[in-house]
Copies of this chain bind each other. A is one copy, B any other.
Amino acid sequence: VSVNAPRGFTASGIACGIKHSGNLDLALVATESVQGVPAAAVFTSNRAAAAPVTVSRAHLVSTGGRAAAVVVSSGNANAATGARGVSDAERICELTARSLGVSPREVLICQTGLIGIQLPMERIESGIGALVSARDSGPQLAALAAEAIMTTDTVRKEVVVEGGGFTVGAMAKGAAMLAPNLATMLAVLTTDAECEAGELQVGLARAVETTFNQMTVDGCTSTNDSVVLLASGSSTVRPTPDELAAALERACSQLASMMVADAEGATKVVKVVVRGAASLVDARRAARKVAESMLVKCSLNGEDAYWGRVLSELGSSGAEFVMDRVSVSYGGIPVCRGGTAVPGHDVDEVRAHMSRSEVEITCDLGLGEFSAEVLSCDLGHGYIDENRTTS
């Protein structure tokens, strides 16, 4: 159960032949009533945004924030495909809309996969009828949808969160994340809360900022990253902005953890916490610099608590930094204080923490009140093997 768990939604997933493997590659999330409902979205900041991003953005603007369905395909990003890519994405929305009986503008589209290759439109076109017919509110259909959006993911990513009287359901794919990542992060969220489009947009933006935007795998920003939210209103519950944002944030946070845990070639998740920063910008910048560091990530892969690299990344992050104020701990065990080694710290205890699948590095800059957390993972051979070739 995930995207069709909230009342008023259906889902489906099929294999239409975009992926040569024959795996599922086309998914649909649609309102049960087949009517436009309030919708919101957050898209990649990449200026090389893919055709589906362009099309979905335009649709949301033209409807003033309403959508009846989201169609998602995997295996081909439809990025760097020029005007043809845009008209192909429009065509997929049109055919889906016709099958459902709604306006094409009320269909959003998300795509993920290889860049620079035109879509196999014949296969997609011939699959849409079956995709729309198969849609259902049963949990098995949600699972098929969640599977159909996967690329290098090794597990489906689905969550359901209960708000006060309303439900949020969501599915995602991505072995990485929104602001940073090329493996593309896609998420489709649904809720039966009663909200206007503007409220959804604010709530979604808040949730994304503290979750998907505070993760990193490789520091690359995809051309296709998209997070879409539809609200059916079927619960007739109107959450406050804080209630809505909190429920969305819980859903996104769980998806974010799943994504980092499933990052390409990763063997462990690391939470980098920066405290005592002079500003929030500094805290986030410092945490991200440590979390993205190839050298820190290699140390994590080797389960080596080499805090010197952490210190060096903090110092080069651009955040305000005074060496003799800094302390670092691994799993709560202080290893560096006042900018130098903590003498006689328990090396075995640190080693035991480093061998866990979830590692925590906490840095205190000793300069102010601000803090930030970024989720990341280690860098192992698997990441390279996954990304060496596209074939």
- Chain A: residues with CB nearer than 8 A to chain B? 44-49, 77, 79-82, 84-85, 114-117, 182, 218-223, 293-295, 298-299, 301-304, 306-309, 311-316, 321-324, 326, 336, 338-341, 379-381, 383-384, 387-391
Contact = CB atoms under 8 A, between A and B. Distances in A.
B388 A384 contact: no
Contact of A389 (B79, B219, B304, B388): B304
Main SS class of interface, A: loop
Contacts of A390: 299, 304, 306
Contact of A315 (B47, B322, B388): B47
A295 B218 contact: yes
The 3 closest A-B pairs by CB, nearest first: A48-B315, A115-B308, A302-B388
A322 B48 CA distance: 8
Contacts of A114: 308
Copies in the complex: 2
A263 to B, nearest CB: 12
Nearest to A340: B82
Nearest to A319: B47
A46 B312 contact: yes
A223 to B, nearest CB: 5
Given A48-B312, A316-B220, A295 B381 contact: no
A298 to B, nearest CB: 4
Contact of A384 (B308, B309, B381, B389): B381
Query: Max chain B CB contacts within 10 Å: which of A47, A306, A326?
Result: A47
B223 A315 contact: yes
A79 B312 contact: yes
A222 to B, nearest CB: 7
A347 to B, nearest CB: 12
